[in-house]
Every structure is written in C-alpha cells, then in structure tokens.
Amino acid sequence: MIDTRFAPYGALALRIALGVMFIAHAYLKLAVFTVPGFAGFLGQIGLPGFLAWPIILAEALGGLAILLGIHGRYVSLALLPILLGALSVHAGNGWLFTAPNGGWEYPAFLALTALAHVLIGDGALALRPAGAATKPALA
C-alpha cells in the first residue's frame, strides 16, 4: 500500500539524493580526476575520450534538473545509459565498490534509483514536474 499523504515527499527525498549524486560525480570528474584524466580513463576502457565533456555536462546539468524537479523523471531516463555504462565498466571488478577499480554494487544501486525516479515521478516541490501541463506543482 502507498501512503498518498507522504509519497510525494518520499519521491522528493529520492530526487534530492539522485540529483546531488549526479552533481557530485560531475564535480569529482572535474576536480579530482580532471577532464584529461577522465578522457584517458575512457580511452583505457575502449570509449572515445571526447565523451568526457558530454558525460560531465550530462551529469552536472542533469543532476541540477533532477534536484530542482525540472522534468526530472525524463532526465533520469536520459541519464540511465550513463549509469548502465558505469555498471558495465565495473561489472568485472566484483560486488563491492571498495574493490580495486570499484565494484558494481553502487552503479547498480544508482541505476535502480534512477529507474525508481522514472516510475514514481518528481514528487513534492518540483519546479516543472514531468508530464505537468503549464504550472509548477507543490505535491
């Protein structure tokens, strides 16, 4: 059973966590790994290095849109391939993300979190909920 009184706030909590996570990972790629370092990593796993900037921008702008509730569920759907790509990169490293080169448990959790957001919706305090007509909704 779903408690319709609090479900919008549960969706809000999910949206905040997911949006902050995407922003934090974009920042990590910029400030810690650096763009050239991330591009080099992409090259090591067989992807073109020029994807570094599009991935970083998708995570940063997508995370902000999710956090603010601006068509967030559509943004989560659009970002799902990045999470599934991260999952495939880490799949051979073992279960825990603390394993050398990171395991697959965290990317799998984030992919399922994004899918839950797509299915549940944007929740309370979304500025422009996905599927909304013209005005923002508070719940």
The pLDDT value given to residue 3: 93
Residue 16 resides in a domain: yes
Any domain includes 135:
no
Residue 56 lies inside a defined structural domain of this protein: yes
pLDDT at residue 4 in the model: 93
**Residue 130 resides in a domain:** no
Q: Check residue 135 and give its pLDDT.
A: 52
Residue 123: φ, ψ to 5°:
75, -160
Does residue 133 lie within any of the structural domains? no
Q: Is residue 125 part of a domain?
A: no
Q: What is the CA radius of gyration of the chain?
A: 16
Give the length of the chain.
139
Look at residue 74 in the predicted model and tell me its pLDDT. Answer: 97
pLDDT of residue 132: 56
What is the number of domains present in the chain? 1
Low-confidence ranges of the chain (pLDDT < 50): 134
- The residue segments making up the domain with residue 85 are 7-120
Q: What is the pLDDT of residue 26?
A: 98
Residue 29 inside a domain? The answer is yes
What DSSP letter does each residue of 48-115 carry, written as one string?
A: -GGGHHHHHHHHHHHHHHHHHTBSHHHHHHHHHHHHHHHHHHHGGG-SSTTSTT--SHHHHHHHHHHH
